[in-house]
Amino acid sequence: MSDRLTDLAIPVIAIDGPSASGKGTVAALVARELGFHYLDSGAIYRVTAHAAQRAGIALDDEDALARLARGLDLRFDGTEVWLAGEPAGDAIRTEQAGRAASRIAALPAVRAALLQLQRDFRRPPGLVTDGRDMGSVVFPDARLKVFLTASAEERANRRYKQLIEKGFDANLAALLQDLRERDARDAARALAPLRQAADAMLLDTTDLAIDEAVQRVVAAYRKAA
């Protein structure tokens, strides 16, 4: 664990938003452009749910899940996540894994257990991170907060293309319904619900190419820095 005061001088760009809004892609590219580290916080929830399923822990057993989360042996290598010395691979990228992540993410003890683990990714020269509560809970002092969204139809299209590219089966109508359910669950939960923070810049990418979204975030950061 690092020193809090030193940490506060390290800039963070927090990009939050709903499922399949493109925030992960945008965040990773912004990090690359600025030479910052990148944290995909959703992957932490995904890998926790995956580890729980492998260990036979029920997805509503809050105490056991929190214990598991506290002891997770996680490492990131680019976009690959390593769990206990093994790459988690595409197993955590399926829709089923996303649903499982969303279920355990609604449990307060699990979120609390994963808080410090996420904060430990704040290292010089800076961090770009994406999720649901990066700006509101994990890094409330982020230099720039962005709420990145797109229409549900556009997000379903993007997720569809992403899954097909990875060689998974996908059904557009089912994806749209699943996204809506996930949005509703993420927005309705008592702790760290999905919503635009008062101090976050809204970026609607429905009609925006990835590069344009990246440039808008970088420009806003340079203005704020």
Report the interface residues with ligand CDP, using CB under 6 A: 19-20, 41-43, 45-46, 98, 101-102, 105, 131-134, 182, 186
Which tokens hold the place of 133?
Answer: 């509560």
Least distance from ligand CDP to the Cβ atom of residue 15, Å: 10
Question: Edge-to-edge strands of the sheet including 80-83?
Answer: 74-77, 80-83, 86-87
Pick 41 or 205: Cβ nearer ligand CDP: 41
Least distance from ligand CDP to the Cβ atom of residue 223, Å: 25
Residue nearest ligand CDP (C-beta atom): 42
Pick 20 or 128: Cβ nearer ligand CDP: 20
Least distance from ligand CDP to the Cβ atom of residue 37, Å: 16
- Contact assessment for residue 129 and residue 138, using Cβ atoms and an 8 Å cutoff: yes
Pick 41 or 149: Cβ nearer ligand CDP: 41
Give, rounded to a whole angstrom, the gap between the first and last alpha carbons of the chain: 25
Give the whole-angstrom CA distance, residue 198 versus residue 195. 9
Least distance from ligand CDP to the Cβ atom of residue 100, Å: 9
Half-sphere exposure of 114 toward its Cβ, with a 13 Å CA cutoff?
A: 31
